[in-house]
Amino acid sequence: MDNNGRGRIVRDALVNSEAVPIITKVMETFKAANPKSSDLRAVVLDKDCSEIACVQHVFPGAYIVLCKFHVLKTFRSAVARLVQGGEAKQKVSKILETLVCGNDFDASYTSLQATAGTAFLEYATLIRTGCPSKICGQQTCTRM
């Protein structure tokens, strides 16, 4: 946040790959060029496991906040794959939007359990317990 309480984009990079060594180099270059980056408290990312691992390595004290747009996009894809029936898909999507927006997590999760099928609930349980490969949609995560 700046002095006015607003978030700012502090670094963009055009890279030929999002592999861990390249993203790490981008972040380390930013850190070296910006001594105040040690004050960095939070980073907003999409769900990319490589980026998450790099931020955890280069800025170990920073909170990682996942972008709401990308989280909802990932959930919509999972709902399309794992939930049966059009009406159920709509209900589950609405519940997930409520979960992501931070409104009464426990009540929304209870509704999700009552509405979603077994396959989606297994997916949701893995996410809730912090399984990064399921969040990312990858078989394995690239870790530092």
Q: Using CA atoms, how far apart are residues 31 and 27, in angstroms rounded to an integer? A: 6
| 31-59 per-position pLDDT tens digit | 999 888 888 888 888 777 788 888 889 99
For residue 89, pLDDT beyond 70 = yes
Angle between helices 105-115 and 86-100 (to 10 degrees): 160
State the virtual CA torsion across 85, 89, 90, 93 in degrees, nearest 10.
Answer: 170
Please tell me the distance from the alpha carbon of residue 66 to that of residue 47, in angstroms, as a whole number.
Answer: 6
Quick check: pTM over 0.75?
no
Structure tokens at 61: 């004290």
